[in-house]
Structure 1
């Protein structure tokens, strides 16, 4: 399939998932995950009108960002080491992997120095898998309360990664759990405004994630394809 064909197919799947769940299509944002493709392919994605670009590591993103940074809205979606904050701050408008206070402190420090604000998603390990990063669900409330100390980091939502399942339907409890956690946290009113965003769903399970309330889906191979194309 060509890039345009993949984009059209994803758009159809997103729209259908919204229709099934009674949601407005405008509620769901698609992030093109370009970590395995070149500057050329990333530029082609931007040329097709997809503005949100997701990268996991600065080492892989740097060349693309330096060539195309001003054309896109950049999301850091991988585990972020504290000593790498200096590389991504001011370049990535969204951080999807806020999972510890030491990271929040460094993000706030570097953002203050640049006089910018960072929109962040708290990463929560809903599935409980030992191989995945993220806060435990029971840690989320106290973590969110602590985030009020950091004036340059705005928690706008929650992020999780579901286990890879043969049947996407098996991921539904994970996505439903993140949505319920968001709603529970909003009841506690730790933030000045309710947190509204849910970053969840990837190429193999994004339709189920949308049905369960995802507002951001992170799509790699199903959208951008493979480099030999």
Structure 2
């Protein structure tokens, strides 16, 4: 199947998942994860109407951002080192993977030069996996309060990369926990914090994520094919 056909199928599945639980499909945005994929594939997806792309690696993203001619929105979704933040300033619309105060401080410092605040999500390590980034649940509230005090950063929600399980239903409890964490934080009414976004769900489980409240689903292989 072509990228255009893949996108059409995924959008149909997003619509169906929303309709099953009475959500408006317009409340869910598809992030096409284009890491390791050539610029030509991004151009093809953009020509098919996809406007939002997620990248994981700073150097790869910078090269692609210069080459892609279509008007697209870039999100950075990968693990981020503080010394690479400066390269993302004024190039990405959102950073999904903020998991520590030192990183948030550097984002704040860099975006002070941009003249507008950075939109970020806080990444939570729900499975407490050593191989994955993300703050622990127990430290989440304190981290959010600390980051919210930074003047050039806006916390817009949470992101999670749960354990990979073949059965999407087995991942559902993780998605539900992220939603409950967002609801708890929202109820605290912390200035500068809005739990509008839940970035969760990938190619094999995004429908379950949508049923549990995802507003951003990160889909790569189902659009572009498996990574070689």
Question: What TM-score comes out, normalization by structure 1 length?
Answer: 0.95
Look up the match of 1:110: 110
1:202-221 residue pairs with structure 2 within 5 A?
Answer: 202-221=202-221
Cα RMSD over matched residues? 1.5
Runs of 4+ in structure 1 deviating by more than 2 angstroms, as ranges, are: 191-194, 224-228
Look up the match of 2:123: 123
Which stretch shifts more, 164-173 or 218-227? 218-227
Residues 226 and 136 of structure 1: CA distance in aligned 2, closer, same or farther (over 3 Å): closer
1:18 is displaced (CA, Å) by 0.6
Corresponding position: 1:180 with 2:183? no
Q: CA separation in 2, counterparts of 1:90 and 1:170?
A: 38
Look up the match of 2:16: 16
Look up the match of 1:100: 100
Q: Which has the higher contact order (CA 8 A, sep 6+)?
A: 1
1:70 is displaced (CA, Å) by 6.5
Q: CA separation in 2, counterparts of 1:160 and 1:141?
A: 15
1:68 is displaced (CA, Å) by 2.1
Look up the match of 1:37: 37
**C-alpha deviations, 1:108-151, integer Å up to 9, x for none?**
00100222321100000112222211011111111111123211
Q: CA separation in 2, counterparts of 1:211 and 1:83?
A: 37
**C-alpha deviations, 1:31-57, integer Å up to 9, x for none?**
011112101111111111111010000
Corresponding position: 1:163 with 2:163? yes
Q: CA separation in 1, counterparts of 2:69 and 2:174?
A: 33
Residues 3 and 70 of structure 1: CA distance in aligned 2, closer, same or farther (over 3 Å): closer
State whether residues 55 and 61 of structure 1, in contact with CA within 8 Å, keep that contact through their aligned partners in structure 2: yes
State whether residues 39 and 63 of structure 1, in contact with CA within 8 Å, keep that contact through their aligned partners in structure 2: no
Residues 162 and 72 of structure 1: CA distance in aligned 2, closer, same or farther (over 3 Å): same
Corresponding position: 1:85 with 2:85? yes
Counterpart secondary structure, 2:40: helix
Alignment gaps of 5+ in structure 1: none
Which stretch shifts more, 187-196 or 146-155? 187-196
State whether residues 41 and 227 of structure 1, in contact with CA within 8 Å, keep that contact through their aligned partners in structure 2: no
Alignment gaps of 5+ in structure 2: none
Which stretch shifts more, 109-118 or 167-176? 109-118
Question: What TM-score comes out, normalization by structure 2 length?
Answer: 0.96
**C-alpha deviations, 1:63-85, integer Å up to 9, x for none?**
21012276111000000000100
